[in-house]
Amino acid sequence: MISRLEKEITFRFLKARKKDGFLNIISIFSFIGIGLGVAVLIVVMSVMNGFRTELVNKIIGFNAHMTVKPYENKIAKEKLDNQNLKSISESLIFSNSGEGIMIKKDITKGILLRGYFEKDFSKLDIVNNGNFLGSENGLSNNFISISKELSFSLNLEIGDEITLMSSSGVQTIIGNLPKQKKFTVASLFDSGVIDFDNNVAFINLVTLEEFFNLKPKVRNLEIYLNNPKNIEYQKTLVQKIFTNEFIYTWSDMNKSLFSALKVERNVMFIILTLIIIVAAFNIISGLTILVKNKTKEIAILKSIGVLNKSIVKIFFLIGVIIGTSATIFGIILGITFSIYVENLRQFLSEFFNISLFPEEIYFLSSMPSEINSISILIISACSILITILVSIFPAFKAAKLDPIKSLKYE
């Protein structure tokens, strides 16, 4: 416990005096350094958390949360009635895919075609995200849904015709020729990810299977979950239901990307924590100078019976108060910047006429930010722990002063 005397002496030593000018400067720099280190760490972690969340939302917006792919036998329909599957899933959709070539006058482009039943197509997130143009139920035979980005590249509008060439062929008297079929643009979608928009289009499932000579038994089952972010646990449940099928999730398809993001976030945390450590070392300097300046006062305190452990507590508390108050200041500053980081980005971009967050690189039109309370608690705990550690040495040094020698040389 801390006694009243220890508290009073601690706050008296914290008060600024004219002769302690240099000491005050060190304390101010310690306070600012720790505060800025905490603030920068919170902002960086918030932006990286926000970037990951936005990336996940976009990925699960145009990909199935989980896909069940049969090896040889058709997926048994009775498995779809499993209660565990129904409890975690929002919708179950059959699909198939094939690679073809899109031809528009002199322009050719490789494209991945995804096939859905007309009733299932309207359930997809890209159809219901507010950026969809055309009929949601327009994916009937010989109709195609392409992205807005692709429509600009090929100069297409809803109602225009386009030719698709299949990778599978038809046997003729002159040999094997690839299939060609005309499709009418029924709708335009916008997933928000340019790579996906430029390379994927949707057609009717039955039409796709005819176009690529695919059998219905090789259809995939796409599972859309109620909580797609809790993917590992739900994958285990689905694997118990579909024991003879290959199962992969949106996380499996992007494992290297999210592993890289995780490593980058951890490295950034370590690097930015060094800022706090460097700033905290100023506390050692400040407390050491304070001990030197307060030699007479320490000697008087010891001569009137104040114990060494009380001297340790006093100087230890000074360091902790500086570090804790700086941490609180940094938390407030960091949270404020995290909330208004996009406004700050827009201001800097307009003021300096530069692009600070290019959409074509980061796939996002705005700088995301997600304040995570656990991250803030970890950052705060690390900051306070560092200040506690660096306050120990000067505190024990103050307690070791000899009162007789100290008073003799004053």
Distances in Å between the Cα of 64 and the Cα atoms of 95, 251, 393, 400 are: 10, 11, 57, 67
Q: Which residue has the tokens 């660096």?
A: 390
Give the span between the Cα atoms of 266 and 275, in whole angstroms.
15
Task: Name the stretches of the chain with pLDDT < 70.
Answer: 1, 13-24, 26, 169-176, 293-294, 355-365, 402-410
Q: What is the DSSP letter of 67?
A: E
Q: What are the phi and psi torsion angles at 110 (to 5°)?
A: -70, 140
Q: What is the pLDDT of residue 362?
A: 59
Q: What is the pLDDT of residue 35?
A: 87
Q: What is the pLDDT of residue 329?
A: 92
Is there a contact between 25 and 260 (Cβ–Cβ < 8 Å)? Answer: no
CA angle 227, 228, 232 (to 5 degrees): 105
Q: What is the pLDDT of residue 140?
A: 83
Going by C-alpha positions, the residue among 338, 340, 335, 316 that lies closest to residue 388 is 316
Give the span between the Cα atoms of 33 and 325, in whole angstroms.
12
Going by C-alpha positions, the residue among 262, 369, 357, 373 that lies closest to residue 43 is 369
Q: What is the pLDDT of residue 123?
A: 86
Q: For the chain, which residues make up each domain, given as ranges?
A: 4-57+257-408, 66-227
Q: What is the pLDDT of residue 403?
A: 60
Going by C-alpha positions, the residue among 224, 195, 197, 212 that lies closest to residue 96 is 212
Which amino acid makes up residue 220? N
Give the span between the Cα atoms of 178 and 171, in whole angstroms.
9
Is there a contact between 92 and 223 (Cβ–Cβ < 8 Å)? Answer: yes
Going by C-alpha positions, the residue among 388, 329, 361 that lies closest to residue 42 is 329
Q: Which residue has the tokens 């507590």?
A: 313
Helices and strands (H and E) in the chain: how many: 16, 10
